[in-house]
């Protein structure tokens, strides 16, 4: 499976995946122009776009993509929050499977600070690969098997976050929000340890905080625990 991170972080998130027959955009939280560049100016050939939730850094370009003929799949709350309208907008529900091109997709519920946030389990009927997309959640209640690729949030290091909150009083409220809406590197590792990683080829760490993470250390820790190829987005 081809995986191409286009943008990751609080300024915007978008990831391109393809199995050679069909292609998907995972989130659309940047400008349409940047998405076009990231998709090699082939946006109109996307099979669809999966949107996890209604925050701008995940849904920003969804309207523009729909105008170009791209089908958008997301929860009803996200549709309402982003004011998405038209026949290209498709409501999906957690644990109700659907198909897009050669992909079979299972949305599942996660824990964030907006209603009805989703993660996605994406299976390719073409390559028999199974990708997990999990971001903007402070934990996950499900255990997944048979994964070949994992895109998972590793937003912050608790020690760095609390140290920064102590230094800057204004950050203390933000720290509380982060802890109850995003995944720490410790939780990321615990989550990965709960999965069957025997078939996993690659792990991508997503949505790292600019101020409260350490990309090099995060990568080393996950590699040491999993023994897999690890990439920072």
For 88-106, write each residue's pLDDT tens digit.
999 999 999 999 999 999 9
Q: Alpha-carbon distance 32 to 28, whole Å? A: 8
Please answer whether residues 226 and 203 qualify as being in contact, where contact means their C-beta atoms are separated by less than 8 angstroms. yes
Q: Alpha-carbon distance 105 to 42, whole Å? A: 22
Q: Alpha-carbon distance 95 to 137, whole Å? A: 17
Cα within 13 Å of Cα(171), Cβ side = 12
Q: Which of 111-125, 172-186, 201-215 has the lowest mean pLDDT?
A: 172-186
Residues 118-139: what's their mean pLDDT?
94
E strand or H helix that includes residue 178: helix 171-179
Q: What is the pLDDT of residue 69?
A: 95
15, β-bridge pairs = 5, 26
Sorted by where each begins, the domain ranges of the chain are: 2-232
Q: Alpha-carbon distance 136 to 224, whole Å? A: 24
Backbone dihedral region for residue 59 (phi beyond 0: left; psi -120 to 50: alpha; all else: beta): alpha
Angle between helices 171-179 and 158-167 (to 10 degrees): 160
The fold of 2-232 is: Metallo-beta-lactamase; Chain A (3.60.15)
Residue 187: pLDDT above 60?
yes
Q: Alpha-carbon distance 182 to 155, whole Å? A: 6
Please answer whether residues 127 and 1 qualify as being in contact, where contact means their C-beta atoms are separated by less than 8 angstroms. yes
- Give the residue from 90, 152, 83 showing the smallest Cα distance to 119: 152
Phi, psi of 171 (to 5 degrees): -80, -10
pLDDT tens, 142-184?
999 999 999 999 988 777 777 776 755 455 656 566 555 678 8
Q: What is the pLDDT of residue 225?
A: 93
Strands 23-26 and 48-50: what pairing? Answer: parallel
Q: What is the CA radius of gyration of the chain?
A: 17
Torsion angle in degrees (nearest 10) through CA of 223, 229, 232, 233: -150
């Amino acid at each position: 499976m081809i995986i191409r991170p286009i943008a990751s972080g609080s300024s915007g998130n978008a990831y391109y995946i393809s199995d050679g027959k069909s292609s998907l955009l995972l989130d659309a939280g940047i400008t349409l122009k940047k998405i076009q560049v990231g998709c090699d100016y082939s946006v109109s050939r996307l099979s669809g776009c999966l949107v996890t939730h209604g925050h701008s850094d995940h849904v920003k370009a969804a309207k523009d993509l729909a105008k170009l003929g791209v089908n958008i799949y997301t929860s009803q709350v996200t549709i309402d929050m982003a004011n998405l309208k038209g026949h290209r907008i498709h409501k999906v529900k957690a644990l109700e499977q659907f198909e897009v091109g050669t992909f079979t997709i299972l949305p599942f519920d996660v824990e964030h600070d907006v209603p009805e946030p989703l993660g996605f389990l994406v299976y390719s009927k073409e390559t028999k690969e199974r990708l997990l997309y999990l971001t903007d959640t402070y934990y996950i209640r499900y255990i997944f098997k048979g994964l070949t690729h994992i895109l998972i949030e590793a937003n912050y290091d608790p020690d760095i976050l609390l140290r920064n909150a102590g230094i800057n009083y204004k950050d203390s409220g933000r720290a509380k929000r982060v802890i109850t809406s995003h995944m720490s590197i410790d939780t990321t590792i615990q989550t990965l340890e709960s999965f069957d990683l025997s078939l996993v080829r690659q792990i991508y760490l997503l949505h790292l905080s600019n101020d409260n993470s350490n990309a090099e250390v995060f990568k080393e820790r996950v590699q040491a625990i999993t023994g897999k190829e690890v990439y920072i987005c």
